[in-house]
Amino acid sequence: MFRLQGSKVLAVDMTGDAVKAKNGSMVAYDGQMAFKKLSGGGEGIRGMVTRRITGEQMTLMEVKGQGTCWFADRASEINLVSLQGDKLFVESSNLLATDSGLRTGTSFTGLRGASQGNGLFTTTIEGHGQAAIMSDGPAVVLRVSSQYPLTVDPGAYIAHQGNLRQSFQSGVTFRTFLGEGGGEAFQIRFEGDGVVYVQPSERNSIAGDV
């Protein structure tokens, strides 16, 4: 159902089924398609309340029909993630599309969200199916194991999945070495068993200047 055309365009072949995608990300389609704007973020009343409190912005549309629809967003690189009943945690700004059967929601992230100025929650996706996430430059998938924990700059973090625990620690970043940082810098430490997706470009955030 999901396939990449190059690294920056997602093609979704549909036979009467539907896909949820970032609002405004459709660039072309053939066949017969119907578009409907969704409330986004989490589903149901809890999701609406969470978004109102935290400012987690995620406007989605549902595309349903027969044919092929192509999606892209600001020439971002696109990465396909297959879920087999597990859960994916992803920054809302990095989510492009999901199978309609996957459930979306919100999850408390604590200090990481606060340090980025993105609210205290991040988007969750769970079930069986595929999701397409975006990155500024080709994403790197890093393995975390019990023997090898991973520390990530909050501005480079995109998503993670698996049985991982997050903690937050102060540290030195490259920007601090270059004299561009001011104040305390925070990093995310992942422990457990899973994978973390990072991008080779830091999003605009205040993570390095908290």
Could you state, in order of their start, the residue ranges of all structural domains in the chain? 2-198
Query: CA end-to-end span of the chain, whole Å?
Result: 42
Which residues are CB-neighbours of 119 under 8 A, at least 6 positions away? 54, 55, 56, 113
CA atoms within 13 A on the CB side of 129: 20
| C-alpha span between 73 and 9 (Å, rounded) | 8
What does each C-alpha distance from 178 to 58, 174, 181 come to in angstroms? 34, 6, 8
Q: What is the pLDDT of residues 123-182, one digit of tens each?
A: 899 999 999 999 999 999 999 999 999 999 888 999 999 999 988 777 665 555 555 554
Q: Give the tokens for residue 35.
A: 């578009």
CATH topology of domain 2-198: Double-stranded beta-helix (3.60.160)
Contact 117, 205 (CB under 8 A): yes
Integer Rg of the chain from CA: 17
pLDDT for 107: 78
Q: How does pLDDT run along the chain (210 residues), one tens digit per residue?
A: 899 999 999 999 999 999 999 999 999 999 999 999 876 444 544 444 444 444 455 678 999 999 999 999 999 999 999 999 999 999 888 999 999 889 988 876 655 444 444 445 678 999 999 999 999 999 999 999 999 999 998 889 999 999 999 887 776 655 555 555 544 467 888 999 999 999 998 765 444 333
| C-alpha span between 89 and 94 (Å, rounded) | 11
pLDDT for 122: 79
Q: Give the tokens for residue 68.
A: 């092929």
pLDDT for 208: 37
Alpha helix (H) ranges present in 102-198? 111-116, 174-177
Contact 51, 89 (CB under 8 A): no
pLDDT for 90: 93
pLDDT for 63: 95
pLDDT for 27: 96
| C-alpha span between 53 and 50 (Å, rounded) | 5
Across the chain, the runs of DSSP E, i.e. the strands, are: 2-5, 9-22, 26-37, 60-71, 77-90, 95-99, 103-108, 121-135, 140-144, 150-152, 157-171, 185-198
